[in-house]
Amino acid sequence: MNTVGPAPGSQSSLRRANRERVVETLSTNGPLTQVEIAGATGLSPATISNLVRDLDGDGAVSLTNSVRNGRRAVLVSLLGGAPLLAGVAFGDRDIRIAVGTGPNDLIARHRMPLPQDHNADEGLDRAARLLHEVLADNGHTLADLEQVALGLPAPVDSVSGAVGSELIMPGWRGVHAAAELQAALATPVILDNTANFAAEGELLAGALGGVETGAYLKLSHGVGAGLVIGGTVFRGSAGTAGEIGHLTIDEAGPVCRCGNRGCLNTYVGSPALISAIAPSQGPIPLREIVSRAQQGDPGCRRVITDAGRHLGVALAGLVNLLNPEVIAVGGQLARTGDLLLDAMREGVERGAIPSAAASVTLVPGALGDDAEVRGALLRAAGARSARVG
């Protein structure tokens, strides 16, 4: 029997390599259209069509009718049980979970509120229970889960695997969150900042698609950023890049919980906005400030535009330093649309050098609340592929 495989560079060898590339792409990203497979692999549409036909004939994939961007499409899915992945994204006061076979194939998603300044034990316990419930509701168990990506709204030290500042999330001091959740789930867990995950989600299928230099800005109870350099998320030497919320914009400003004065968070974080509106409307929560601003309330609109101007001051420095093409804005404050963005644009135009200000576009994020978990699923898929490859 001839055990020698196809000669390197032969048509059969090339076809096999291309087939493996398609299978790997589907394994990493979940079900895709043929156009999406072509874009992800760099292969021509005709080559993808032939490979999908062969895979379908071999019973390796299934073809199902679906809708993509409002148009009918046929999704190509791996058969034989694509691995289940999970994205777990903590906010300041909530937790979001998504389960799927890839960032484009979400089986289920769920959100649960959390108390302010919750501790790590409480947060991780809720994450494990919520993940178990979401899986069970969809006919799965923890045994079906192959990789989890965990995001925290704080700098994550890539060297120690712990929160990079004990003052930003005091209830998580000294906790190795990935290791703790991994032990609870008996499933590999990787850890990153949630803003980095959101940036990856927007790079994959949102407002940062095709961007080489840019940023994702999350504006909710606090401010975080994911930086994009060279078309990928930039984390810095120890994983803590992007902490724009702790950029000083006034050295004589209020004392921040991180210990510095005049951090951006002290002007645009939820405590500052709630305090600003309290004299006229009482201590209403952030979501109510946003809702009333959307409805035209002049006081709440002023609070939002003031926040936008402070953000513009910080972004002007980022624009001068990074010279980004696009800055995508998400989080609760982004729901106010141009009310916020126009004030931010004014601040950038006032504070950045003209050529840098003219070359950057501020846009709302395209994925909304799904940006973080979509990015987390993408990271989980990559980690799984690296582990099993």
Segment 298-328, tens digit of pLDDT: 999 999 999 999 999 999 999 999 999 999 9
Comparing 6-20, 81-95, 191-205, the range with the smallest average pLDDT is 6-20
The CATH classification number of 209-365 equals 3.30.420.40
**pLDDT score for 280:** 95
Element (H, E) at 98: strand 94-102
Q: What is the DSSP string of 19-37?
A: HHHHHHHHHHH-SB-HHHH
Residue 95: the pLDDT is 94
* pLDDT at site 387: 76
Q: How far is CA 286 from CA 16, 135, 246, 273, 332, in A?
A: 55, 32, 20, 7, 8
Better-predicted residue by pLDDT, 81 or 367: 367
**Residue 366's pLDDT is what?**
94
Q: Where in the chain is the domain with CATH 3.30.420.40?
A: 84-197+382-388, 209-365
Domain 84-197+382-388 part of CATH 3.30.360.10:
no
Task: Tell me how far apart the alpha carbons of residues 265 and 244 are, in angstroms, rounded to a whole number.
Answer: 9
Q: What is the pLDDT of residue 9?
A: 47
| Chain segment 359-381, per-residue pLDDT in tens | 999 999 999 989 999 999 999 98
Angle between helix axes 338-351 and 298-322 (nearest 10 degrees) is 40
Query: In which residue ranges of the chain is CATH 1.10.10.10 found?
Result: 11-78
Pick the range with the lowest mean pLDDT from 214-218, 285-289, 382-386: 382-386
Q: Among the listed ranges 59-63, 65-69, 159-163, which one has the minimum average pLDDT value?
A: 65-69
CA distance 272 to 88: 28
For the chain, give the mean pLDDT. 88
- In CATH terms, the fold of domain 11-78 is Arc Repressor Mutant, subunit A (1.10.10)
pLDDT tens by residue, 223-247: 999 999 999 999 998 888 999 999 9
Using the structure block, give the residue that is written with the tokens 């394994």: 27
**233-290 per-position pLDDT tens digit:** 999 988 889 999 999 999 999 999 888 999 999 999 999 999 999 999 999 999 999 9
Alpha-carbon distance values, 211 to 41, 114, 231 (Å): 18, 34, 6
What pLDDT is attached to residue 1? 38
